[in-house]
Amino acid sequence: MNNYPKLHNAGWPGVVGKGPDAEEPFIDLDTMLDWTAAAEVDGVRFDGVDLFLSAPHVDIDSTDDDLKRLAEKVHALGLVIGSVVAPVWPPTGGGSAMGDESERGRFLSMVEKACAIARRLRELEVRPYGVVRIDSSVDPGTWAADPEANTRRIADTFREACARAGDQGELLAAEGEVCWGGMHSWKEMLKLLELVDRPEILGFQADMAHTLLYLLGVNAASDAIVPAGFDWDDQEAFEEAYRTLTDSLRPWTIDFHVAQNDATVKGSGSHDKTGRHCLPSDPGGKLDIVRAAGHWLRDSDGKVTQTCRHICWDGCMFPNRIMSDPGTWNQILSSMIQVRDAHGWEE
């Protein structure tokens, strides 16, 4: 059996789209960690967690003692930490990457703080791999007022973010979601990555639920790869379309989320509508998870890339009742194991 990539769960489904202004309350980090550590399928467990660096989970202004306690807590559960999310959005202290100098300054401050925490967790020997995730922190409608100028401005901000990440020895991954301006279609995402032109530091984070919507051209109809009313049962057409998407963005991919999507969007609280995450067994799910993951984890010749040393399950905006069911995490872990068995490697 393969032992790479390592299998991680995400902590942020406990906070993203949750809270006082949303449909459901937050789930604390300790609970998310306990659920992750308890999951088991045929003796296999999750290897680690990916974290959201914002209260009420991990405060972006955590002290060194706070981080030591976090490292001890995660280690005691037999887990490690992988990728972390920089809280670059205005509600969490950040700002738009294409905004004025004040907004861009707040954006860059959040990236710098997140990279410092990520570095410190490496030093504490609880984080053996992973990246720092960012996005543009602006909606597609605002971006669309001046696409070329706004993409250039986002690229300038990302380039400065790369400099700050490099100072900490960290990598950045831009998350492709239809809700982020300048990153809301596969073509715009590729254009932005090429314009930043820092492949040694900035790569792409592919989430299977979010990138599925790139096929449909959600928020970017002219960039749709499949036509309106696409027949999801036409596997040949799907494979061709999915190959177009993955061949374009795979060379940039340094972080990967296994997920299921039913080709619809969902938003909650302050989070704009993006790809709806579903359980692996959801009857409406459009993805053969294992097969689709192979398009991201193998190159165009079918060889395993070994680029991502861990993969993460993203259940963003799952209902709390679903997350509180232990069977949920065993089902998810089972899917992750199948992906690793099919597209992983032994080391």
> How do residues 40-81 score in pLDDT, each as one tens digit?
999 999 999 999 999 999 999 999 999 999 999 999 999 999
Residue 189: phi, psi to the nearest 5? -65, -45
* Alpha-carbon separation of residue 56 from 228, 247, 272 (angstroms): 40, 38, 20
Return the pLDDT at 36. 98
Return the pLDDT at 252. 98
What DSSP character marks residue 24? S
Q: What proportion of the chain, given as a percentage, has pLDDT over 70?
A: 98
Q: What is the mean pLDDT of residues 256-269?
A: 83
Q: What proportion of the chain, given as a percentage, has pLDDT over 90?
A: 91
User: Is the pLDDT reported for residue 272 higher than 80?
Assistant: no
Quickly tell me which residue has 């930043």 as its tokens.
Answer: 196
Q: Which domain holds residue 174?
A: 6-343
Residue 39 in any domain: the answer is yes
Residue 113 in any domain: the answer is yes
Q: What is the mean pLDDT of residues 133-148?
A: 97
User: Is the pLDDT reported for residue 266 higher than 60?
Assistant: no
Instruction: Measure the CA–CA gap between 4 and 341, rounded to whole angstroms.
Output: 9
**Across all residues in the chain, what is the average pLDDT?**
95
Helix axes 29-38, 64-76, angle to 10 degrees: 20
The pLDDT confidence band at residue 22, using thresholds 50, 70 and 90, is confident
User: Is the pLDDT reported for residue 119 higher than 60?
Assistant: yes
The pLDDT confidence band at residue 126, using thresholds 50, 70 and 90, is very high
Q: What is the CATH number of the domain that holds 174?
A: 3.20.20.150
The pLDDT confidence band at residue 316, using thresholds 50, 70 and 90, is confident
For residue range 188-199, what is the model confidence (pLDDT) as tens digits?
A: 999 999 999 999
Residue 152 in any domain: the answer is yes
Report which of residues 123 and 317 the model is more confident about.
123
Residue 209 in any domain: the answer is yes
Residue 109 in any domain: the answer is yes
User: Is the pLDDT reported for residue 299 higher than 90?
Assistant: yes
Q: What is the mean pLDDT of residues 277-292?
A: 95
Number of domains in the chain: 1
User: Is the pLDDT reported for residue 225 higher than 90?
Assistant: yes
Note the pTM of the prediction, 2 decimals.
0.96
Residue 1 in any domain: the answer is no
Q: Which has the closest alpha carbon to 257: 217, 338, 315, 331?
A: 315
Residue 11 in any domain: the answer is yes
Return the pLDDT at 23. 84
Report which of residues 50 and 18 the model is more confident about.
50
Residue 249 in any domain: the answer is yes
Return the pLDDT at 268. 65
CA dihedral 286, 330, 311, 175 (to 10 degrees): 50
